[in-house]
Amino acid sequence: MIAFDLKDKVIVITGAGGVLCSEFARVLAECGAKVALLDRNYEAASQCTEALVAKGYTAKAYGCDVLDKESLLKVREEVRRDLGTCDILINGAGGNNPRATTTKEYYEPGDEEREDITTFFNLDKSGVEFVFDINFMGTLLPSQVFAADMLGKDDTSILNISSMNAFTPLTKIPAYSGAKAAISNFTQWLAVHFAKEGIRVNAIAPGFFVTNQNRSLLFDADGNPTARTEKILNSTPMGRFGESNELIGALLFLLSKQAAGFITGVVLPVDGGFSAYSGV
């Protein structure tokens, strides 16, 4: 029988104030881990931490910018002092930006001249750079900083958060799709790089889950599903959005040496069949 006992493991989670990663933090704390919740929004991470501490779990919140290596190094020292050296890193920070999102799905003649909507031709360069940075660099930099704690230790791993966009890009969001594809590729690269050191590196690729970042794209102001939601659900064989707790099995499996000790470099879809559906 596999027991998911993470007692005394120090787990660092970036983007920990979000819907999905705060759920990760809760479950991992329940498994006995000492959890460091990192987020640029300290208040969001702190609220989650307070709820965990109130239940007797070991957790601490840290304000941190995953794009600032000095900020990461400072927080690493604080985590070492408060909880110990990092055993597991979960790179959950990421997201999209409206400046890197086109208004329409398909090109129409004249789009190259329009300025009243966002087209492929006038995508904001800084917006695209922000999306690539927060997703890819926001995974690479924390990995550089916290993987240093894992060297020479047993049973360590890094878990990245990819996306269905990495397999098949969604319309309107070219930067986000490209950035998540980069994370999947980086997961494989880093898994090979650290294989002989014993640091396993894997990723989860969630399908469609309702989060604070995408809620406005999926539902209108009255809470009604948008046209994009209809498309998503029609392309998801299970016909619904995922629940955050439905990522937990994949999370615990990939972090468990007992269950997945010979697994590294994989990107595991958790998508209700989205990646398997051809549309016909």
HEC readout, 165-214: HHCCCCCCCHHHHHHHHHHHHHHHHHHHHCHHHCEEEEEEEECCECCCCC
d(CA 189, CA 187): 5
Helices (H) and strands (E) in the chain, counts: 10, 7
Q: How far is CA 256 from CA 148, 171, 185, 252, 260, in A?
A: 20, 35, 22, 6, 6
- Rounded percentage of the chain residues whose pLDDT exceeds 90: 88
- C-alpha span between 217 and 261 (Å, rounded): 38
Examine the residue annotation and report whether 42 is marked as an active-site residue of this protein. no
- The fold of 10-101+131-207+247-267 is Rossmann fold (3.40.50)
Distances, alpha carbon 254 to alpha carbons 3, 35, 157, 199, in Å: 13, 17, 9, 12
Candidates 133, 68, 254, 191; CA nearest to 76 is: 68
72-93 pLDDT per residue, tens:
999 999 999 999 999 999 999 9
Distance CA 265, CA 9 (A): 22
Mean pLDDT of the chain: 95
Distance of CA 13 to the CA centre of its chain: 10
Tokens of 76: 């690493």
Please tell me the distance from the alpha carbon of residue 171 to that of residue 174, in angstroms, as a whole number: 7
Confidence of residue 211 (pLDDT cuts 50, 70, 90): confident
From 57, 62, 107, 176, the catalytic residue: 176
Q: For residues 204 and 184, give the distance between their C-alpha atoms in angstroms, rounded to a whole number.
A: 9
What pLDDT, on the 0 to 100 scale, is given for residue 280? 84
The pLDDT of residue 54: 97
Per cent of the chain over pLDDT 70 is 98
Amino acid in position 168: T
Distance spanning both ends of the chain, measured CA to CA: 40
pLDDT, position 1: 56
In 3D space, the residue among 206, 68, 222 whose CA is nearest the CA of residue 137 turns out to be: 68
Domains of the chain: which residue ranges?
10-101+131-207+247-267
Tokens of 171: 């319309």
Residue 121 DSSP code = G
Sheet holding 156-161, edge to edge: 59-63, 34-39, 10-14, 88-91, 156-161, 199-206, 267-270
* DSSP string of 212-274, one letter each residue: TTTHHHHB-TTSPBPHHHHHHHHTSTT-SPBPGGGGHHHHHHHH-HHHHTT--S-EEEESTTG
pLDDT tens digits, residue range 66-76?
A: 999 999 999 99
